[in-house]
Copies of this chain bind each other. A is one copy, B any other.
Amino acid sequence: MTASLAWNRYGKSLVRVMKVTRTGPRHNLRELSVNIGLEGNFTAAHTRGDNSAVLPTDTMKNTVYALARTDPVSSIESFARLLARHFVNTVPHVALARVEITETQWQRIETDATPHNHTFQRLGPETPACTVESERGSDRVRSGLRGLVILKSAQSAFSGFMRDKFTTLKETDDRIMGTSVTAAWPVSPTADFNAARHAVRQALISTFAAHQSLSVQQTLFAMGEAALRATTLIDEITLSLPNKHCLLVDLAPFGLTNPNEIFLPIDEPHGLIEATIRRN
């Protein structure tokens, strides 16, 4: 044998499941997408084709369906933890089970200003997300959200930056700042996950709106700091803010001014500002 197995993981990705919960005529809806990965001593499978320790990924899929039936799925984190612990407890060779869940959100519609019992509209593109890692005896939970696309058309500047021979960017004290927020925060396995997410989300959005921004970096830090102030359930948050550029269009060739009114939104390239903010 010229080589050996230095690391391995296997599992099932993109297991979709929708759960309809009924309280009389009133229904609730959760649509989840689940990724499962198991690490451990699966060397015999790799080197000898001995599958006796390998729980099929098809079984992992079935497990998602079955446990979605018996668990209330009160949060994506509690369901992810249930799944992760299940695999740690069921599969002998597993050292670590990793379960990621993202949620597709459905909003109850209103007809005649009354919430409807069983009709829903897809929200988007924001998705709650979490990752749970279970080892024998310990669980780590990371909550988060992705795809929260927000934009402010005032109170964003970028000037006084470093310049080198390749710098052509003009300074500005009034630009559009748009982003798609990805946030993730470690949280205790017994915390109220939904309460934490709600508090973080509100803090992120209202700080983005209120901030007199000198840079995406400064706004990111203010958002993170606000999230930590908003709830004692978390002590750290990682934010990833792409700078979704809206370029001011030059209308001068057409004899027109452009007082920050007409912009060209582009998807690529984009800036990407990331940081972890931690409570002192």
Task: Give A contacts to B, CB under 8 Å.
Answer: 1-22, 25, 27, 29, 31, 35, 37, 42, 45-59, 61-63, 65-66, 68-70, 90-91, 106, 109, 111-112, 116-125, 148-155, 158-169, 176, 205-206, 208-210, 213-218, 220-221, 224-225, 228-229, 236, 238, 242-243, 246, 249, 251, 253-256, 258, 260-280
Number of copies: 4
Chain A interface, DSSP helix/strand/loop, else mixed? mixed
The distance in angstroms between the C-alpha atoms of A158 and B217, with both chains bound, is 44
A125: shortest Cβ distance to chain B, in Å?
5
Specify the chain B residue showing the minimal Cβ separation from A160: B51
The residues of B that contact A236 with a CB separation of less than 8 Å are 6
B277 and A217 form a contact (CB under 8 A): no
- A-B residue pairs in contact (CB < 8 Å), sample of 22: A2-B229, A3-B221, A8-B217, A10-B273, A16-B266, A16-B268, A19-B261, A19-B262, A19-B263, A20-B260, A31-B265, A46-B221, A55-B161, A56-B158, A57-B271, A61-B269, A62-B168, A65-B251, A68-B262, A69-B256, A111-B205, A120-B153
Asked if A12 meets B262 with Cβ closer than 8 Å, knowing A62-B168, A111-B205, A254-B165, the reply is no
The residues of B that contact A49 with a CB separation of less than 8 Å are 213-215, 217-218
The residues of B that contact A19 with a CB separation of less than 8 Å are 261-263
Task: List 18 additional A-B contacts (Cβ < 8 Å) besides A58-B167, A120-B152.
Answer: A3-B221, A3-B279, A7-B275, A16-B269, A19-B261, A46-B220, A49-B217, A49-B218, A52-B160, A56-B162, A57-B271, A58-B168, A61-B269, A66-B256, A111-B205, A117-B154, A118-B154, A119-B205
B109 and A45 form a contact (CB under 8 A): no
Specify the chain B residue showing the minimal Cβ separation from A67: B166
The residues of B that contact A6 with a CB separation of less than 8 Å are 236, 275-278
